[in-house]
Amino acid sequence: MQPSAPPATSSDASANANEPPRVVNEETNLSDLTDQEIIALSQRMNEDSEADKRPLLSPPAPLSVLREEYERGSAIFVKKIDALIKDGWKTVWRAKGDGDCFYRAFALAFSLRIISSLDPALEAQLAASKIQECVPRFLEAGFMEMVFEDFLETFSTFLQSLGTTPPPSAAQVLSQLQDPETSNSIVVLLRLVTSSWIRSKPEEFEFFLMGPDGEMLSVLNFCQNEVEACGKEADNVQIMALSACLDVPIKIAYLDASGDGSHVDMHSFGPEGASEVPLNLLYRPGHYDFLQ
């Protein structure tokens, strides 16, 4: 436990005015908190509670809304959002920050691309076939059929629903992906797709597999702990693997504190020269959303 700070008195109030605010967390002795710190802590707890109530995926919001959230925090982030808007990006579809945000954002972008294509029925069928092609790789990776069959059926049924006539609207797709059972099943299936691809091509990935502390991991340990486990954030390795396995190009705009804010770095993943329009995601440190 951190040592408690003595209560401030009127004589040292002026000296404390120029000091940075004390960090209040779960290790802080609550009996030492000032009234202002108690109020701030309560507000933060309410915000965290509201965050738990956020949908797994949210309706599109203008990038200007995201900009407003950073106006009092990061000038570089504001400049980069301005750069995105200038380049023609308009909206962000937010994924809940639960560690599965990359896979949820990918699923949403992937689905909306299908229903907006010239032939949604054909694209949905091709996508379902591509997922079915992963089954032999699942078995080679050692996944028992009873482990993945329910998730596979849920994802396949969802993909088939995208090819109906007329195809579902974006709002209807979003509603399906907001359903925890459907959304979580798709996340698990996409994690298995990603893991099985990495396991099948160890020579391509083994030198890039690191744990959260920077330690090198074996292919098996990396896949079990950093890919298959829900709630674990995706990094470049997972993105490259999923993109390659499903033959889906991905472009990610990196909204971070690098540079002077005049432009946003865009990183592309997937086969070079792909004819398909990439799925566009927005990365903020530790989080992914769908960008349009």
> Would residue 213 show up in a list of annotated catalytic residues for this protein?
no
pLDDT 10s digits, 127-157: 999 999 999 999 999 999 999 999 999 999 9
**Given 32, 82, 98, 256, which residue is catalytic?**
98
114 and 236 co-located in one domain: yes
75 and 138 co-located in one domain: no
> Would residue 101 show up in a list of annotated catalytic residues for this protein?
yes
161 and 138 co-located in one domain: yes
- The pTM of this model reads 0.82
CATH number of the domain residue 277 falls in: 3.30.200.60
Give me the DSSP letters along the chain: -PPPPPPP-GGGHHHHHTSPPPP--TTS-GGG--HHHHHHHHHHHHHHHHHHTS-SB---EEHHHHHHHHTTT-HHHHHHHHHHHHTT--EEE-B-SSS-HHHHHHHHHHHHHHHTSS-HHHHHHHHHHHHHTTHHHHHHTT--HHHHHHHHHHHHHHHHHTTSSSPPPHHHHHHHHHSHHHHHHHHHHHHHHHHHHHHH-HHHHGGG-B-TTS-B--HHHHIIIIISSTTPPP-HHHHHHHHHHHT--EEEEE-SS-SSSSS-EEEEES-TT-SSPPEEEEEETTEEEEE-
175 and 190 co-located in one domain: yes
| 55 domain residue, yes or no | no
157 and 200 co-located in one domain: yes
118 and 214 co-located in one domain: yes
| 240 domain residue, yes or no | yes
| 50 domain residue, yes or no | no
| 288 domain residue, yes or no | yes
| 187 domain residue, yes or no | yes
The whole-number pLDDT of residue 42 equals 47
The whole-number pLDDT of residue 35 equals 54
Q: Name every residue whose Cβ is closer than 8 Å to that of residue 53 and which is 6 or more positions away in sequence.
A: none
Determine the structural domain holding residue 283 and report its residue range: 60-93+249-292
The whole-number pLDDT of residue 238 equals 98
Q: Name residues of the chain where pLDDT drops below 70.
A: 1-52, 273-275
143 and 72 co-located in one domain: no
88 and 109 co-located in one domain: no
The whole-number pLDDT of residue 52 equals 65
| 51 domain residue, yes or no | no
pLDDT 10s digits, 192-227: 999 999 999 999 999 999 988 889 999 999 999 999
The whole-number pLDDT of residue 9 equals 37
CATH number of the domain residue 154 falls in: 1.20.1300.20
142 and 277 co-located in one domain: no
181 and 231 co-located in one domain: yes
5 and 69 co-located in one domain: no
Provide the number of structural domains found in the chain. 3
The whole-number pLDDT of residue 74 equals 84
In angstroms, rounded to a whole number, what is the distance separating the alpha carbons of residues 104 and 84?
Answer: 22
**Given 100, 101, 245, 289, which residue is catalytic?**
101
> Would residue 230 show up in a list of annotated catalytic residues for this protein?
no
**Given 100, 223, 245, 287, which residue is catalytic?**
287
67 and 26 co-located in one domain: no
In angstroms, rounded to a whole number, what is the distance separating the alpha carbons of residues 256 and 246?
Answer: 28
| 110 domain residue, yes or no | yes
Return mean pLDDT, the chain: 86
